[in-house]
Amino acid sequence: MTRPTPPVVTVSAGSRTISIDTGELLFPGIVLAFCLYYYWDTYALPDLSMLYAGPLLYATVGLAVVTILGQAISIDGDTGLERSERPPDEPPTESAELASEGATPETGTDDPAFTVRNAALLIGLTVVYIAVLDVIGFLVATIAFLAITLYLFGERDPTRIALYSVGVAFVVWIVFVQWLRVPL
Amino acid sequence: MIDVVFTPASIEAGLGILTDPYILLAIVLGTAIGVVFGAIPGFSATMTIVLFTPVTIAFEPTSALIFLVSAYGGAVYGGSIPAILINTPGAPGSVVTCWDGYELTKQGRAVYTLAVSAIVSGIAGLFAAAVLLVFAPPISSFALNFGPPEMFLLAVFALTIIPAAKGSSLSKALLAGAFGLLIGTIGNDPQLSQSRATFDQTALLDGVDFIVVLIGLFVLTEVFRLGYRGTVVTEDNDRTGGSLSEVYNGVRAVVSRPIETIRGMFIGAFVGSLPGAGADVANFVSYNEAKRWASDELASRFGNGTIEGVIAADSSNNATQGGALIPTLTLGIPGSGATAALLGAIALHGLNPGPGLFDSSGDIVYAMILSLFIGNVLILLYGVSGSQYFGKLAYIPVRYIIPAVTVLAIVGAFAVRNATVDLYIVLLFGIVGILFVAYDYPLVSIVLGVILGDIAESGFVTGWLLTGESATAFLFNSPIAIGLLVLTALSLVITVLKN
């Protein structure tokens, strides 16, 4: 149930201390990296092509910088320009948003199968599944993915694992490949 | 102008569509699937619509959209089942249902509570469908007056209202929205067809498909989070058994409390119609109002298992559906994840979401609205006759849900347009979604940004060129434009004050 909290880096500058919540840098960092690529890819385009996208790009960069300054950086214990939810050394909350966008609230479980490590492994398995789909084919890749993931989250009965993985893969194959003609 | 979209002929055409047996089957199946998936812990209405949208690709547009809108209603109701049985809301709009619903379950009144939930959900859904039928056409007619500058300003307003409605950080919400808009510009630009930020992927010349983004943000993110959250459900907790006389008691409980039901319905329909505010907000408002209007003795029992609390929560919850569809169908502005998913499905099936939707596809839109009446009667029937059976779904171990839903999300994303790059896009947004949830970024802001990208760009470019490339002429193009500017300024001020 616990999850890794990105560290807060503290830097002393003269009499002042600057704290940087590295977790809060993650999304603005991704946005800035994307904006950099976007700029590199489009700077030579005609003005008309960038009439809307150009100002939007600069506005997005500006908002990313403001978000970093307001949410990730605090000076001398100041909680930032706009930070209202939490100080930098506390773990992030998952309150309103998860309950507002289609997620179920935190309920908690003592089941040792549900850990940050296993969630990270699930993401890793999904990456591998996507990568090998083309190589080994849909049915084999899907059956393997389902079996490994089910094992990861605590199922130990081989019969159940086999029935579940083959059954789910077969149903998905029937619906998407045979019925919808998706070229998986 | 109202005559254009609100004519007996268009309603008649909509009714004609509903007489098709396949359409009726779509409503029956859609509602049942919605209830079933909504009742599974971790499955929200948004996830249900998003996951089933690729499956409907083979359907013709009318039956596909009616199937999805029926599933929406069913899933909103279904979310209350695990809330009542295992204290785990299946959807965000069912959070408040837990407070009294689960207490009643602990007192051995599960069937009674499930019956009350089904009845008020069905009645509230019917009321909201009527509200949608009455209010959507005139709003749609008014929206036909929107020109390109107004459409751009409408998109900007929609993005600024999210933090005001949800109480999020202004800079985070705006950053998420701007990033979404920027994602929406990927691909060939509409003026000169020059490619922008396509990572040399041919499929991206047509842009990033927002159904894929929605699957990533709403389905994969939730599955990844289930990976470390799990749920508290065990089969030992199964409390779905109970006498059928409890269903009759449930009917009597609702009939004897009409004010509570009506108040919740009005609150739900009104709050639902506000962009950015959905069942999650309506739920709290309705519950608080019910408590405020209750006698001191009754108010003290709220939270300890009073049926008035369940009625307040579930009547507002289901009434938001019709309300939320008003801005979605009339302006093309979805106010929640579920309506964003529906809007995506509308676009996927070749209809043009936005102010012209009623004008161009009035028969289909009316059929969708009218199908809500049938769907909500079905919710009432399904719920009263079988909620204890649907309730068994609440006990499915989450370890069986995670692998299957992950596969469905991946395959569904690929099925949208058979592009390999979409597999990586869905994964990327699944991971970005985790950051959003962990650091309190509003998911709906980035979704709105991606969805409104086209409207915003064409509105801005066309408006800018038409108004002589003058900012003054562009921004103050018409009274509607000025009104939207004022509303945008107001929502920004409200957010700043809240922060």
Instruction: For residues A30 and A96, state if they share a domain.
Output: yes
Alpha carbons B366 and B363: distance in angstroms, whole number: 5
CB-based contact B407 A127, cutoff 8 Å: no
How high is the pLDDT of residue B220? 92
Q: Are B53 and B344 in contact (CB under 8 A)?
A: yes
Q: How far apart are CA B303 and CA B97, in angstroms?
A: 10
pLDDT in tens, B374-392: 999 999 888 888 766 776 7
Strand A73-75 and strand B187-188: the pairing is unpaired
The span from the CA of A61 to the CA of A81, in Å, is 17
Question: Does residue B233 register a pLDDT over 80?
Answer: no
Residue B214: both structure tokens together: 């929605």
- Which pLDDT band, with edges at 50, 70 and 90, does A91 fall under? very low
Which tokens hold the place of A23? 């977790």
Confidence category of residue A158, pLDDT binned at 50, 70, 90: very high
**Strand ordering across the sheet containing A8-13:** A8-13, A16-21, A73-75
Tokens of B403: 């692998």
Residue with the larger pLDDT of the pair A151 and A180: A151
Mean pLDDT comparison of B1-10, B38-47, B264-273, highest-scoring range: B264-273
- Range of lowest pLDDT (A33-37, B76-80, B356-360): B356-360
Report the 10 Å Cβ neighbour count for B43: 28
Contact B411, A67 (CB under 8 A): no
Contact B196 A100 (CB under 8 A): no
User: Which segments of chain A does DSSP mark as H helices, in order?
Assistant: 22-42, 53-67, 116-136, 138-152, 158-172
Q: For residues B226 and B89, what is the distance between their CA atoms, to the nearest angstrom?
A: 14
Whether residue A108 and residue B229 make contact (CB cut-off 8 A), yes or no, is yes
Q: Do B229 and A107 touch (CB under 8 A)?
A: yes
- Sort out which chain B residues have CB atoms less than 8 A from A130's CB and list them: 410, 423-424, 427
Q: Which residues contact B325 (CB under 8 A, 6 or more apart)?
A: B69, B132, B136, B339, B342, B369
Q: How many whole angstroms separate alpha carbon A145 and alpha carbon A124?
A: 11
Mean pLDDT of B70-99: 82
Are A92 and A120 members of one domain?
A: no
Q: Which pLDDT score, from 0 to 100, does residue A83 have? A: 45
Identify whether residues A37 and A86 lie together within a single domain.
yes
In chain A, which residues have their Cβ closer than 8 Å to the Cβ of B168? 96-97
d(CA B79, CA B42): 9
- Among A56, A86, A106, which residue terminates a domain? A106
Whether residue A6 sits in one domain with residue A94? yes
Q: Do A54 and A99 share a domain, yes or no? A: yes
How far away is chain A from the Cα of B9, in angstroms, using its nearest Cα? 35
Q: Is the per-residue pLDDT at A96 higher than 50? A: no
Q: Flag if B227 and A179 touch (Cβ within 8 Å).
A: no
Task: Report the pLDDT value the prediction gives residue B231, as an integer from 0 to 100.
Answer: 60
Last residue of a domain, one of A58, A82, A106: A106
Is the domain of A65 the same as that of A96?
yes
Lowest mean pLDDT among A99-113, A160-174, B69-83, B172-186: A99-113
Provide the pLDDT for residue A106: 45
Domain count, chain A: 2
pLDDT tens-digit readout, B10-67: 788 888 888 899 999 999 999 999 988 888 876 778 888 988 998 888 888 999 999 9
**Bigger pLDDT: B241 or A100?**
B241
Given a cut of 80, whether residue A176 has pLDDT beyond it is: yes
Per the confidence metrics, is the pTM higher than 0.90? no
Give the residues across from A8 on adjacent strands: A21
For B330, the token pair is 């009339």
Given pLDDT bands bounded at 50, 70 and 90, which one contains residue A77?
low
Token output for B498: 């809240």
Q: Are residues A140 and A96 in the same domain?
A: no
Decide if B182 and A92 are in contact by the 8 Å CB cutoff: no
| pLDDT 10s digits, B417-431 | 889 999 999 999 999
Predicted confidence band of residue B292 (pLDDT cuts 50, 70, 90): confident
Average pLDDT over residues B66-92: 84
Assess if residue A76 is contained within a domain.
yes
- Chain B hits for A61, Cβ within 8 Å: none
Integer-rounded Cα Rg, in Å, for chain B is 22
Q: Which of B46, B232, B410 sits opposite A102 (nearest CB)?
A: B46
**A85 shares a domain with A122:** no
- Rounded to the nearest angstrom, the minimum Cα separation between B276 and chain A is 10
Q: What is the DSSP letter of A177?
A: I
- ∠ CA(B29), CA(B32), CA(B33), 5° rounding? 80
Compute the count of residue pairs across chains A and B with CB atoms less than 8 Å apart. 277
Q: Count the helices and strands in chain B (H runs, E runs).
A: 24, 2
Where does residue B43 fall: left (phi above 0), alpha (psi -120 to 50 degrees), or beta otherwise? Answer: beta
pLDDT (0 to 100) of residue A109: 58
User: Is a pLDDT exceeding 70 seen at residue A82?
Assistant: no
Of residues B302 and B43, more confidently modeled: B302
Give the per-residue pLDDT at B8: 66
Q: What is the pLDDT of residue B166?
A: 65
Alpha helices in B357-498 (DSSP H): 357-390, 398-417, 421-438, 443-466, 471-475, 479-498
Residue of B nearest to A153 (CA): B399
Cα–Cα distance measured from residue B347 to residue B353, given in angstroms and rounded to the nearest whole number? 6
Rounded Cα distance between B482 and B480, Å, is 5
* More confident call, A96 vs A173: A173
- Chain B contact set for A184 (CB, 8 A): 411, 414
For chain B, the average pLDDT equals: 85
Per-residue pLDDT at B6 exceeds 60: no
Strand partners, A18: A11, A75
Domain that holds residue A39: 1-106
Instruction: Please list every residue in chain B whose beta carbon sits closer than 8 Å to the beta carbon of residue A22.
Output: none
**A70 assigned to some structural domain:** yes
- Select from A94, A116, A184 the Cβ nearest to the Cβ of B437: A94
Contact across the interface for A146 and B438, Cβ inside 8 Å: no
Chain A residues with beta carbon closer than 8 angstroms to that of B280: 99-100
Find the helix packing angle between B421-438 and A22-42, rounded to 10°. Answer: 140
Q: Do A104 and B42 touch (CB under 8 A)?
A: yes
What are the residues facing B196 on neighbouring strands?
B187
How far CA A180 is from CA of A142, B42, B102, B217, B341, in Å, comes to: 18, 27, 41, 24, 20
What confidence category does residue A107 fall into, taking pLDDT thresholds of 50, 70 and 90?
A: very low
Identify all chain A residues contacting B91, using CB atoms and an 8 Å cutoff.
102, 104
Given a cut of 60, is residue B255 above it in pLDDT? Answer: yes
CB B35 within 8 A of CB B330: no
The answer to whether residue B237 scores a pLDDT higher than 60 is no
Crossing angle of the two packed helices B443-466 and B148-166, in degrees rounded to 10: 160
Q: What secondary structure letter does DSSP report for A178?
A: I
Same domain for A23 and A66: yes
- pLDDT of B277: 64
- Assess whether pLDDT exceeds 70 at residue A39: yes
**Mean pLDDT of all residues in B442-450:** 86
Mean pLDDT, rounded, for B197-217? 90
* Chain B residues near residue A95 by CB distance under 8 angstroms: 440
Q: Which of B397, B438, B390, B110 is nearest to B231 (CA)?
A: B397
The answer, yes or no, to whether ipTM is higher than 0.85 is no
Q: Which of A17-31, A74-88, B181-195 has the lowest mean pLDDT?
A: A74-88
End-to-end CA distance of chain A: 35
Contact B231 A99 (CB under 8 A): no
- Strand residue runs (E) in A42-87: 73-75
Average pLDDT over residues A101-121: 67
pLDDT digits (tens, 9 = 90+) for B101-116: 888 888 888 888 988 9
The highest-confidence range among A71-85, B379-393, B394-408, by mean pLDDT, is B394-408
Cβ A27–B278 below 8 Å, yes or no? no
Q: Stretch B131-157: mean pLDDT, rounded?
A: 87
A111 belongs to a structural domain? no
- Determine the pLDDT at residue B242: 59
Residue A78 and residue A156 in one domain: no
The mean pLDDT of A160-166, rounded to a whole number, is 96
SS3 B196: strand
For residue B376, what are the contacts with CB-CB under 8 A and spacing of at least 6? Answer: B73, B121, B122, B123, B125, B126, B129, B318
Does residue A160 register a pLDDT over 90?
Answer: yes
Instruction: Give dist(CA B370, CA B105) in Å, integer.
Output: 35
**A3 burial type by CB count under 10 A (0-12 exposed, 13-18 middle, 19+ buried):** middle
Confidence of residue B2 (pLDDT cuts 50, 70, 90): very low
From the list A35, A49, A133, the residue facing B191 with the nearest CB is A49
Contact A37, B186 (CB under 8 A): no
Both tokens of A155, joined, read 């199922």
Both tokens of A105, joined, read 């609230």
Tell me how far apart the alpha carbons of residues A70 and A108 are, in angstroms, rounded to a whole number: 31
* Whether residues A58 and A101 fall in one domain: yes
Position A86 confidence tier, pLDDT thresholds 50, 70, 90: very low
pLDDT of residue A101: 42
Q: Name the token pair of B334.
A: 């979805």
CA distance linking residue B15 with residue B269, whole number of Å: 23
Note whether A114 contacts B167, CB cutoff 8 Å: no
Nearest-angstrom CA–CA distance, B229 and A124: 17
Give the highest mean pLDDT range of B62-71, B129-138, B438-447. Answer: B62-71
Give CA–CA dist B100/B84, Å, rounded.
Answer: 8
Nearest beta carbon to residue A56 from set B172, B181, B415: B181
Give the mean model confidence (pLDDT) for residues B85-108.
79
* Preferred mutation among B156, B233, B411 to probe A, highest tally of A CBs within 10 A: B411
pLDDT computed for residue A84 by the predictor: 42
What letter does residue B19 receive in the DSSP assignment?
T
B44:A59 CB<8 A? no
Q: How confident is the model at residue B241 (pLDDT cuts 50, 70, 90)?
A: low
Q: How far apart are CA A28 and CA B379, in angstroms?
A: 43
* Identity of the residue numbered B387: S
Q: Which residues of B touch A65 (CB under 8 A)?
A: none
* % chain B with pLDDT above 70: 92
pLDDT tier, B177 (very low <50, low <70, confident <90, very high otherwise): very high
A73, A19: one domain: yes
Does some domain include residue A165?
Answer: yes
Instruction: Band the pLDDT of A4: cuts 50, 70, 90.
Output: low
Domain boundary among A106, A139, A162: A106
